[in-house]
Amino acid sequence: MSRLILASASPRRRELLAEFGLPFEVRPAAIVEHEAPDADPRQMVAHNAALKADWISARHPEATVIGADTTVFVDETVLNKPRDAAEARAMLRRLSGRSHTVFTGLAVRRGADGLRLDQGVASTVHFKTLDEATIEEYLRRVHTLDKAGGYAIQEHSELLLTGYTGSLTNIIGLPQEEMKQLLTQAGLMR
């Protein structure tokens, strides 16, 4: 079985991938992600996931490499990771009382045999109407600067959400059902 490398620094992706019980290494790709607010979110996450996987695969052609990218999409606008607390507040205000879509792109590469697998996943998240006190309480409890849309569904979501449709692990950042299918196609799982 070939080495498995996760081309991501995300602790959430690391935790979700570890649940499969496969040994893997973490090697973040030294790339610049495309993050334009007016980008097509499906194309953007697919591009970024492939960029990460391709970069690591070029350096470790014998390994099976996973690239992933996740973003939040509302009002025809991509919400990536907030730059600061003020931007996180603005994102939460924008999501308040509404539904938005979370898109993840997955890319699996193995240079040695030319393996190239890609998958896109979408889920919908439904937010409560948030007042300023709730936003401040959430930001006090959760570090949001490394999270697309300025929130983490797995941390104090009772303050923010009325629910979601689709894959919870997609919203967290690594859709497990689709990931398992790709790893099976790559010959690493049954």
- For residue 157 the two structure tokens come to 């979501």
Cβ distance 155 to 141 under 8 Å?
Answer: yes
Indicate the pairing of strand 115-127 with strand 161-165. Answer: antiparallel
3-state secondary structure of 37: coil
Q: Which ranges constitute the DSSP H helices of the chain?
A: 11-18, 41-59, 85-95, 132-141, 168-172, 176-185
Active site residues: 69
